[in-house]
Homo-oligomer: A and B are copies of this chain.
Amino acid sequence: MSTATAGTEQASEFDRGIAVAARPGAASVYDAELDGGWRIGGGINGGLLLALVGNALRAELGRDGGHADPFSISAYYLSAARSGPAEVRTETVRRGRSVSTGAATLLQTAEDGTAVERLRALASYGDLAAAEGDVRTSATPPEMPPPDQCIGTEHAPPAFLSQADLLRRLDLRLDPACVGWALGEPSGNGRIQGWLRLADGRQPDPLMLLLAVDVLPPVTFDLGLPGWTPTLELTAHVRARPVPGWLRVTHSTRNLAGGFLEEDAEVWDESGRLVAQSRQLAAVPRGAGSAGAAEGSGR
């Protein structure tokens, strides 16, 4: 099998977007093709890249009856990824009984022929089906109107849509309480939330959750700070396999300071289970109090 994605899902845009092929003769190296349809702003969306690298690590750590589900993945974004060929070099750091740890780097070739690193990642993989035990989640699912009473992204400002090709691949319905920014009236609460599914009907799974944690508009929009928020670091924890259907995704921040902000995401499935959590450190948009660290990820 040269492609690590399950054959039955090949038709979906998402599965094509994260497909990797083991390079013949090069152990632990996977080839991929970044599709400009996942572009936002100046680069390919950081959540898609996370899922792509997560898919390569799934192939690497899942070999020979290993561990195929991401439990935790941390990505450090180094430069904006472009459409075109890419490679993922992976390393098995440790194979454990119930958890294995891997490392990965995503590279592209620059016009001058040199390899440019897009992101570096570490991850722990296991078997979510074996992750049994109490569920004592004290977090509560977000309250928002049903999808048909939320705001589809087709209503987003044209200037935003033109920069966000990936929105066409999502069915994203934002809570009306969180879209004041699109009308020039941000709430200032630092919270954006909505319903999410893939536009082509592909159901959520652990890899799709890695996209879900970084695909909503940045929470800075709700703080009245337009512009891109390049991600320095993002860590996602996948805590359960989602059931089919809609996801509810929340983004919030508690600490915008010194030119950076932390942004927390929670992803809830249709059964009401908290299936993923993430936190990222991102740069505040330039011109809005940024330290100018923006060397970003195409968030």
Binding site for B on A (CB under 8 A): 71-72, 74, 76, 78-79, 93-94, 96-99, 101, 103, 117, 120-124, 126, 128, 130-139, 190, 223, 232-233, 235, 237, 239-240, 253-260, 262, 273-274, 277, 279, 281, 284, 288-293, 295
Beyond the given pairs A98-B292, A98-B295, A133-B291, 20 more chain A to chain B contacts, judged by CB atoms under 8 angstroms and listed by A's residue number, are A74-B76, A74-B122, A76-B122, A99-B295, A131-B259, A131-B291, A132-B291, A133-B284, A133-B290, A134-B257, A136-B223, A137-B255, A137-B256, A137-B257, A138-B190, A235-B235, A237-B281, A239-B262, A254-B277, A277-B279
Complex interface: chain B residues within 8 A of A132 (CB)? 258-259, 289, 291
Taking CB atoms, residues of chain B closer than 8 Å to A292 are: 97-98
Note all chain B residues with C-beta closer than 8 A to A240. Answer: 257-258
- Contact between chains at B135 and A257 (CB < 8 Å): yes
Instruction: Please judge, given known A-B contacts A255-B137, A255-B277, whether A233 and B130 are in contact too, CB under 8 Å.
Output: no
Rounded to whole angstroms, the CA-CA distance of A291 and B72 in the bound complex is 15
Q: Are B93 and A78 touching (Cβ within 8 A)?
A: yes
Give the complex CA separation of A123 and B78 in angstroms. 11
Which residues from chain B contact A254 at a C-beta distance below 8 Å? 137-139, 274, 277
Give Cα A121–Cα B126 distance, bound, in whole angstroms: 19
Minimal beta-carbon separation of A32 from chain B (angstroms) = 20
How far, in whole Å, are A291 and B252 apart by their CA atoms in the complex?
30
**In the bound complex, do residue A136 and residue B256 qualify as a contact, i.e. CB atoms below 8 Å apart?**
yes
CB neighbours (8 Å) of A281 from chain B are 71-72, 124, 237
